[in-house]
Amino acid sequence: MAVGACRNDPLTSGSAPALCRDCASLLPRNARVARCPSCGSRRIVSHPDLERLSIVHVDCDAFFASVEKHRRPELAGKPLLVGGTGDRGVVSTACYIARLSGARSAMPMRQARQLCPDAIVLEPDIAAYRAVAKTMREMMSALTPLVEAKSIDEAVLDLSGTMQLHGAPPCVVAARLALAVEQELGVSISVGLAENPMMAKLAAEIDKPRGYGVIGAEAPEWLAPRSVRTLPGVGAAQERALGRAGFTTLGAIAALSDHDAVRRLGPHGPSLAARARGEDARRVTPSRPAKSVSVETTFATDISAVAELERRLWLLCERLGARLRKGELSATGISLKLRTSRFETRTRAAQLFTPTILPERLFALARELLTKEIDGSAYRLLGIGTNGLAPLAAADPPDLADPNSGRRAAMQNAIDSIRTRFGDTMLNRGRALDRK
């Protein structure tokens, strides 16, 4: 089985294409060397399919922490945690030095600081991270129009057909991108090269940080002994369900015929079996419409008072309205999310008569949903999101009905309610945000 992903690669065999990751040079096909003849680097990756594969997954290494260290050179070589600093703060990103102590993303900040007491802790600067991500996307788009963003720090590129444009195969173009991003933006990335998006994502995880993983025709063999959790999208609950059905490795699922996959795993069984064999028919899609927009907040202390919950809800409605306008979208419905002090999550949803971006209208409907959950419970988290989206142009059409129509009356009631509870200052601030 040939998987190309080595941090300090041994002698290249001479029988497979090899690439230097530090100067992006292809090595002579018959060379048998431990170092790159051009730059002397030992970071050489070799794989039989290296020059054939064209789907590239790019995954930034400890993205938030990398941006902060580039902005603040004095942080170099120090453990860094980026995340909430309050009692209920959560780690957004732990740099690799901090990870050596056991700190990791999604861990309560208090626990991470106990594991890594010397760590420097910074609040996230999302605007700065988005600016770096935007520049990085522009660098990718200069290579191919087929760039699909997966998150703020992940993307997949289709470099097929770009050999003539760049005068180099995709493997070299991907290595050049990694070098350019690190040199210009101070962010290291891990690259995965494969035949399809799913396998490229898995290849990018082989050798982090600053990795360059390659998985080609050997994908079924590489997947076979691995846990079912290896597949993107398979979580703990599905892993347990598959285990009860007798499947703990991907090889066992991959061996199923479509008939047996349906019989033993249900209607989605054949799709799961195909992915277990490394098959992925998805194409790289340059842009995908947003499915939802949401905002939420975790309270420093649990809240049960109705007035305080409503005040926090209004602030979230302001933020949601501003985010919708910025994204040139409007909400056709909303969903309310609450988490109790016992970590029980409650959700409610409702539709609007017409799309909106106005905080007043969002609040009017959200408050109705919140009222139904006021039962004496104390809440640690409150969130509001869209339950359906429409273009910005469809938002808040003029009401041609009678001024006393139900919709207009409901909106006026919402405005009156906000003014009564929070005063004109907060109402005007919401309108100002909406106009931006």
Task: List pLDDT tens digits, range 323-356.
Answer: 999 888 999 999 999 999 888 899 999 999 899 9
- How are strands ordered across the β-sheet holding 120-122? 91-94, 80-83, 120-122
d(CA 136, CA 151): 12
Give yes or no for residue 204 having a pLDDT over 60. Answer: yes
Give the pLDDT of residue 431. 47
CA angle 416, 420, 425 (to 5 degrees): 95
Rg of the Cα atoms in the chain: 26
Give the pLDDT of residue 236. 86
Measured N-to-C along each axis, helices 406-435 and 359-371 cross at an angle, to the nearest 10 degrees, of: 120
Which residue is associated with the tokens 């290849």?
Answer: 203
What's the pLDDT band for 245 if we cut at 50, 70, 90?
very high
CA angle 379, 376, 293 (to 5 degrees): 35
The mean pLDDT of 26-34, rounded to a whole number, is 77
Give yes or no for residue 401 having a pLDDT over 60. Answer: no
CA angle 127, 130, 133 (to 5 degrees): 155
Q: Which of 63, 407, 57, 85 has its CA nearest to residue 214?
A: 57
Q: Which of 297, 288, 287 has its CA nearest to residue 385?
A: 297
DSSP 8-state secondary structure symbol assigned to residue 154: E
Q: What is the 3-state secondary structure (H, E, C) of 234-291?
A: CCHHHHHHHHHCCCCEHHHHHCCCHHHHHHHHCCCHHHHHHHHCCCCCCCCCCCCCCC
In contact, 386 and 374? CB cutoff 8 Å? no
Give yes or no for residue 13 having a pLDDT over 50. Answer: no
In contact, 383 and 337? CB cutoff 8 Å? yes
Q: Residue 176 has which token pair?
A: 């050049």
User: Which of these is catalytic: 68, 154, 310, 360?
Assistant: 154
**Would you tell me how many other CB atoms lie within 10 Å of the CB of residue 274?**
16
Q: Residue 16 has which token pair?
A: 């497979």
Annotated binding site: 59, 153
Annotated binding site for Mg(2+): 59, 153
One-letter amino acid identity for 49? D
Give the pLDDT of residue 422. 60
Q: Considering only residues 47 and 422, tell me which one the structure prediction assigns the higher pLDDT.
A: 47
Task: List pLDDT tens digits, range 114-135.
Answer: 999 999 999 999 889 999 999 9
Which pTM value belongs to this model?
0.74
d(CA 176, CA 48): 20
Q: Which of 381, 299, 394, 298 has its CA nearest to residue 337?
A: 381
Distances (CA, A) of 108 to 86, 98, 169: 10, 14, 44
Pairing assessment for the beta strands 294-303 and 389-391 based on DSSP bridges:
unpaired
Pairing assessment for the beta strands 345-356 and 329-340 based on DSSP bridges:
antiparallel
Give yes or no for residue 287 having a pLDDT over 60. Answer: yes
Torsion angles phi and psi, residue 424, rounded to 5: -70, -25
**Would you tell me how many other CB atoms lie within 10 Å of the CB of residue 8?**
9
Give yes or no for residue 402 having a pLDDT over 90. Answer: no
Give the pLDDT of residue 259. 95
Torsion angles phi and psi, residue 413, rounded to 5: -60, -40
What's the pLDDT band for 4 if we cut at 50, 70, 90?
low
In contact, 45 and 81? CB cutoff 8 Å? no
Q: State yes or no: is 221 an active-site residue.
A: no
The mean pLDDT of 237-252, rounded to a whole number, is 93
Question: Rounded to 10 degrees, what is the CA torsion of 271, 275, 279, 283?
Answer: 80
Which residue is associated with the tokens 């309270």?
Answer: 299
**Would you tell me how many other CB atoms lie within 10 Å of the CB of residue 332?**
18
What's the pLDDT band for 31 if we cut at 50, 70, 90?
low
What's the pLDDT band for 86 if we cut at 50, 70, 90?
confident
Longest alpha-carbon distance in the chain: 84
